[in-house]
Amino acid sequence: MQGPSATLSHPAVAAPPWDEALAAGIIRELAGLEGALLPILHALQERFGWVPREAVPLVAEALNLSRAEVHGVVTFYHDFRASPPGRHVLKLCRAEACQAMGAEALAEGFMRRHGLAWHGTTGDGGLTLEPVFCLGLCACAPAALLDGEPLARLDDALLDGLVEGARA
């Protein structure tokens, strides 16, 4: 977990370009699993940073589902992105323990200062803001993930500093 003097060590990585052959290989590898839709979507997002719309017909055909069913799952679950994320992804916890410790005010202030809304990306493509519901860091609330790194005991100054440090 990051403390007040910590810096993040994970550099930003741009989402790789769409590669239909690579996506088809991922789908083929996982299509035989029972309940394969979610594992396939997670694997595609892990590889590409999001679930490209071009993947929907490939997944639908492989699993004998309609495109609408696949699209519905992508858009229903908050963990899936239907558009490319920013170079950095900040996931702010919105669960009860974090709320009790000021997470809503923290989130509102951050969004106001950075001109963001939930699921939004800054104009320069540098940061995407996503809600997350419980990171298991309740004793260290409010908490977040920045590029997969846990951040704890956040306040406005610490959060802004860590985000700006990562974006530098």
Ligand-binding annotation for 138, yes or no, is yes
The edge-to-edge listing of strands for the beta sheet with 88-93 is 127-132, 88-93, 144-146, 149-151
Backbone angles phi, psi at 92, to 5 degrees: -95, 130
Q: Is 98 annotated as a binding-site member?
A: yes
Residue 134 marked as a ligand binder: yes
Nearest to 73 by CA among 42, 103, 100, 102: 42
Q: Is 140 part of any known ligand binding site?
A: no
Q: Residues annotated in the binding site, as ranges?
A: 93, 98, 134, 138
Q: Residues annotated in the binding site for [2Fe-2S] cluster, as ranges?
A: 93, 98, 134, 138
